[in-house]
Amino acid sequence: RKEVEQDPGPFNVPEGATVAFNCTYSNSASQSFFWYRQDCRKEPKLLMSVYSSGNEDGRFTAQLNRASQYISLLIRDSKLSDSATYLCVVNPSEGQGGKLIFGQGTELSVKP
C-alpha cells in the first residue's frame, strides 16, 4: 500500500463548478498535512496546510479526518487558472523531521 494515495484523475470540470479531491494516508502517527499545486512542467508549490479543525483560504477548503486518515480539498467556483495537478502531502513524523511524502497527484482541468 502506498503511504499517500489520491483519487485517480483527471477531473474535467466546467468553470464555476465545485470539485473535491480526496487523499488517504497510511501512517497513523503522521502529524502534518498539506496540499501542493503543480502546474505543467513546473515545480510543486505549497497551496495550503491542512489543520485538524479544517481551514479555508478563499475558494479553497481543506479538511482532515485523523480517525479515517483522510484529507480532502474542496475548490469552489473553479477558474480556468485552477487547472493543475494537486498533490496531497504528508509529514510522517516519528523523528523523521522534515520528510515529506507526496501522493501521485490528481490532475484538474477546468474548461470554459
Partner 1 sequence: DAGVIQSPRHEVTEMGQEVTLRCKPISGHDYLFWYRQTMMRGLELLIYFNNNVPIDDSGMPEDRFSAKMPNASFSTLKIQPSEPRDSAVYFCASSLEGRSLARAFFGQGTRLTVV
Under the rule (CB under 8 A), what is the footprint of partner 1?
32, 34, 42-46, 49, 87, 89, 91, 96-105
Q: Of 38 and 69, which CB lies nearer to partner 1 in the complex structure? A: 38
Name the residue nearer to partner 1 (CB basis): 20 or 46: 46
In residues, how long is the chain? 112
Q: How far is the CB of 18 from partner 1 (least distance, A)?
A: 25
Please identify, using beta-carbon distances, which residue of 79 and 99 lies nearer to partner 1: 99
Instruction: Find the shortest distance in angstroms from Cβ 72 to partner 1.
Output: 19
Q: In this complex, which beta carbon is closest to partner 1, that of residue 13 or of residue 101?
A: 101
User: How many other β-carbons are positioned within 10 Å of the β-carbon of residue 5?
Assistant: 15
Q: How far is the CB of 43 from partner 1 (least distance, A)?
A: 4
Minimum CB separation of residue 75 from partner 1 in Å reads: 21
Longest dimension (CA), the chain: 46
Query: Using the 8-state DSSP alphabet, how is residue 43 labeled?
Result: -
In order of 30, 87, 91, 93, 104, the CA distances from 108 in angstroms are 26, 11, 24, 29, 13
**Listed residue (8, 12, 5) closest to 83, CA to CA:** 12
